[in-house]
Amino acid sequence: DGQARIVDLTHTLDPDFPVIILPPEFGQCARFRMEEVSAYDHRGPAWKWHNLTLNEHTGTHFDAPIHWVSGKDVPNGAVDAIPPEMFVGPVVVIDCSEGAAQDADFELTPDIILAWEDAHGRIPADAWVLMRTDWSKRRGTDYLNMHNDGPHSPGPVPAAIELLLERGIRGFGTETVGTDAGQGAHYTPPYPAHYLLHGAGKYGLQCLCNLDQLPPTGAMLIAPPLKIKGGTGSPLRVLALIPGETT
């Protein structure tokens, strides 16, 4: 009947929004920057516009298979080559917010997924699976939660991603700065969400928000990345549509 409640799962692109910090031996992600070109002034009397500088993995963003070495040869693995049907599809939400409030290193495990399926049914093939942690409500340094031994934020164990791949999911999304836990480098394989998902040709979404406004099942996700030639990912607007509800 055309009725749907629309929830915006996107953070505002803002130079102050944290970006991932990798161990110092690696290249680093540039923050979002905005440079004024003109503002109805001598540089352009009737218009205002900006030059933008950003990493593909800035703010609320999409991860393509070629982001990771395991997915480097996936056909159509760059953002410009992914079939557009992949950008509209069903979404389910696994609520890990209570556990993540207690434990910054909270792990999404197969047991949690199986318990979710007992309550809500089997995860449908081709669905996006989002891990709700309410981490998007954190501000400032609490978001990356960096300690001397690196960042601490919740994420999936390798076996959880393997189970989601058995279900044939389309992709996996989180409210944290990555699809992997802050301490995800210490799993086998390191960064299992990135390694396993992208190796299987699946997608990622990171830095999502407002997952607390979604039902566990029944919503549709619209998540088309920018069409960057050979791009490994892209900031994007992510919208959820909840049929039969009104805003």
Between 33 and 43, name the residue whose CB sits nearer to ligand 23J.
33
Q: Which of 116, 143, 172, 191 binds ligand 23J (CB under 6 A)?
A: 191
Q: From residue 14 to residue 33, what is the string marking binding to ligand 23J with x (rule CB under 6 A)? A: ------x-x-----------
Q: From residue 125 to residue 164, what is the string marking binding to ligand 23J with x (rule CB under 6 A)? A: ----------------------------------------
187 binds ligand 23J (CB under 6 A): no
* Measured distance CA(116)–CA(133) in Å, rounded: 15
* Residue 181 one-letter amino acid: A
User: Which one of Mn ion, ligand 23J, none interacts with residue 232, CB within 5 to 8 A by kind?
Assistant: none
Q: Which of 57, 132, 170, 198 binds ligand 23J (CB under 6 A)?
A: 57
Q: From residue 139 to residue 178, what is the string marking binding to Mn ion with x (rule CB under 5 A)? A: ----------------------------------------
CB of 18 to ligand 23J, least distance (A): 12
57 binds Mn ion (CB under 5 A): yes
Catalytic residue among 11, 57, 61, 67: 67
CA distances from 57 to 17, 43, 91, 102, 178 (A): 12, 31, 22, 28, 9
CB of 218 to Mn ion, least distance (A): 27
Task: Give catalytic status of residue 152 as yes or no.
Answer: no
User: Which one of ligand 23J, Mn ion, none interacts with residue 202, CB within 5 to 8 A by kind?
Assistant: none
182 binds ligand 23J (CB under 6 A): no
Helix axes 158-166 and 110-120, enclosed angle (nearest 10):
40
Residues with Cβ within 8 Å of 156's Cβ and at least 6 positions away in sequence, in order, are 107, 108, 131, 164, 172, 179, 180, 181, 192, 193
Q: Which of 60, 131, 180, 192 binds ligand 23J (CB under 6 A)?
A: 180
Question: Which residues are catalytically annotated?
Answer: 67
Q: Please give the residue ranges that form the binding site for ligand 23J (CB under 6 A).
A: 20, 22, 57, 63, 67, 178, 180, 191, 194, 206
Residue numbers at the binding site for Mn ion (CB under 5 A): 57, 63, 233
